[in-house]
Structure 1
Amino acid sequence: MSHRSKLKGGGRWELDPEGDVLLTLHNPDAPFAVWDPNWYKEVPSSVPPEQNNTQPQDSDPPKADCHTRTKAEVKAEQESQSPHTPDEPTSTSSVTFLLSSRHLCLASPYFKRLLGGPWKEAIETSPDGLRHVDAYDWNEKAMLVLMQVIHGRNRKLPGRQSLEELAKFAVLVDYYQCHEAVLLWSTKCVRRITVTDLFDRDTILVILVSRVFSEYDLFEEATRVAMRGCEGKLPTLGLPITAVADLFDAERKELLDLIFTDLYDLISRLREHQ
């Protein structure tokens, strides 16, 4: 049975009391998908170019603003973009997870590469007999739920998840590529989500969740609401939906072009008394 023991400056979750991997989550519960009500407004011309942090549209789709790294990976080519380097966590708080490498490798291609691939020899076993892996900025509860699913701790799983909780869980599933491992539990939770006609932050979270868990009908509903209510480029909020946002903006531009073409045609016909 998993349990938590309090440690100085954080806590410890034991998903496998005889585990061989210790994952340390630094700066848990960092701000997530921050919504700016003025997101659709253009950056004022008085702002110097270097202060405009908008990413160019041709950049690679970013992962969520959190990541997991080993010391070897820090020195090598980074696998995803990050708001800060893992050597400089934004907070001194941390929480640890004692895990089974076998469960991790079976459930996640990411961990399979990390613990059994080219990096295997680079992840040294510490004096405590464990292999240490670092993670940054993820939500602690979402990480716990993911590890409970991976380690078969089904009785510990929450029966319901809010949209916010599912979104935090979804970025982890997307990053660690463990969609199949969580399929049965996630499907039950995701199908309780409903979409309103109001375009807001929740709409973006629904787009994320429905994309990660391949709920196509829900995805179509959410993008339809966004198509009608979005006042600018679809905001990604730092979530792994950049490719979706690019397709969304391209389709909306195409639809707007059709609308204006029809309007100009109508104006022309009216002028000619048709």
Structure 2
Amino acid sequence: MEQPTHTIDPDGEVMIILSNANAPFAPEASITKQNVEKADDEDNDKSSEFQISESTTSDSGVHYNDRNNDKEPDSPRFCIQASAKHLSCASPVFKKLLTGSWKESITFQQKGYVEITTESWDIEAFLILLRIMHCQFNQIPRWITVEMLAKVAVVADYYECKDVIRFFVNIWVEDKRPPDKYCRDLILWLWISWAFEYGKRFKAITATAMLHGDRQMNSLGLPIPDRVIGKQDTHSFFNI
């Protein structure tokens, strides 16, 4: 395996190769009314920004479709050494990769170690998630920005382990308040409140968005379900 740039577990059998790290996240330009309307007219059926790669033999890569086409040859690349046991226990996605019928799992079963590739995650957000998975709580920040929280939430959502980080999310949001106008941060808050089921906050955010912005909210490429973005009456989603 390659030499790690970050070591979560020095005895770890898994080397996670993160390429094209720190890709653009939820670009602010797409929040304007003009861009929302143009996007709706040009491509109503556009798929999610986040999907599993279909262009490689690996089933573990994560791609931001329209951004990876412009990937620089020298884009940031990191190698993170981690524990197969901790990854499998915390994430059904990692468990499937390490114990299922994928190429990675076959390699792991035959050799006792494996490299797993992924793309585009913010390196700091990814390390926060991995350290929580490995119970390294003394290395978890007690305060992070809304931007970083949204990034961590996206990675946790992809690896299906939001419950693993919920304790820290509750701490991170404790002293924060969503903005009272329609802006990029409001959409980040919409994603956070949806992902972690903050019902009252979700209702307040959607009310603000509908009052001060477009009736059709823009997801900024975040994995917010279309039924949430297009929903006018949000009260049925959370009975809180």
Q: Determine if the TM-score, normalized by the shorter chain, exceeds 0.5.
A: yes
Name which of structure 1's ranges 160-169 and 11-20 shifts more when overlaid on structure 2: 11-20
One of 57, 82, 88 as aligned partner of 1:71: 57
Query: In angstroms, what is the RMSD of aligned CA positions?
Result: 3.6
What does residue 230 of structure 2 align with?
246
Q: Using the alignment, how far apart are the partners of 1:198 and 1:82 within structure 2?
A: 28
Aligned to 1:187: 170
Deviation at 1:165, TM superposition (A): 0.7
Query: For 1:119-134, what aligned pairs fall within 5 Å after superposition?
Result: 119=102, 123-125=106-108, 130-134=113-117
Q: Which residue of 2 aligns with 1:198?
A: 181
Picking from 17, 29, 34, the partner of 1:24 is 17
- For 2:29 and 2:110, the matched residues in 1 are separated by 46
**Aligned residues between the structures:** 230
Q: Summarize the Cα distance change of 1:226–1:88 in structure 2 as closer, same or farther, 3 Å threshold.
A: closer
Aligned to 2:135: 152
Q: Which residue of 2 aligns with 1:207?
A: 190
Distance 1:134 1:228, change over 3 A: same
Map of 1:176 onto structure 2: 159
> Structure 2 CA distance, aligned partners of 1:190 and 1:64?
25
* C-alpha distance 87-207 of structure 1, shift in aligned 2 (>3 A): closer
Shift of the 70–193 alpha-carbon distance from structure 1 to 2, 3 Å rule, reads farther
Counterpart of 1:257?
Answer: none
- Residue equivalent to 2:65: 83
Aligned letter for 2:184? Answer: R
**Mapping for residues 20-59 of structure 1, pairs under 5 Å:** 20-36=13-29, 39-41=32-34, 54-57=42-45
**Deviation string for 1:30-56 (max 9, x for gaps)?**
1110011673126899xxxxx989542
Report which of the two has the higher share of helix: 2
The answer to whether the Cα contact below 8 Å between 1:69 and 1:86 also exists between their aligned partners in 2 is no
Larger radius of gyration: 1
Q: Which amino acid aligns with 2:165?
A: V
Whether the aligned pair in 2 keeps the contact of 1:70 and 1:133 (CA below 8 Å) is: no
Instruction: Tell me the residue number matched to 2:238.
Output: none
| Aligned residues of 1:66 and 1:82 also touching (Cα < 8 A) | no
Q: Secondary structure at the match of 1:220?
A: helix
Structure 2 runs not aligned, ≥5 long? 235-240
Q: 1:149 to 1:54 in 2, by over 3 A?
A: farther
Question: 5+ residue gaps in structure 1?
Answer: 1-6, 46-50, 253-274
- Structure 1 length as normaliser, TM-score? 0.72
AA of the residue aligned to 2:118? A
Q: For the residues of structure 1 that align with 2:54 and 2:17, how far apart are their CA atoms?
A: 9
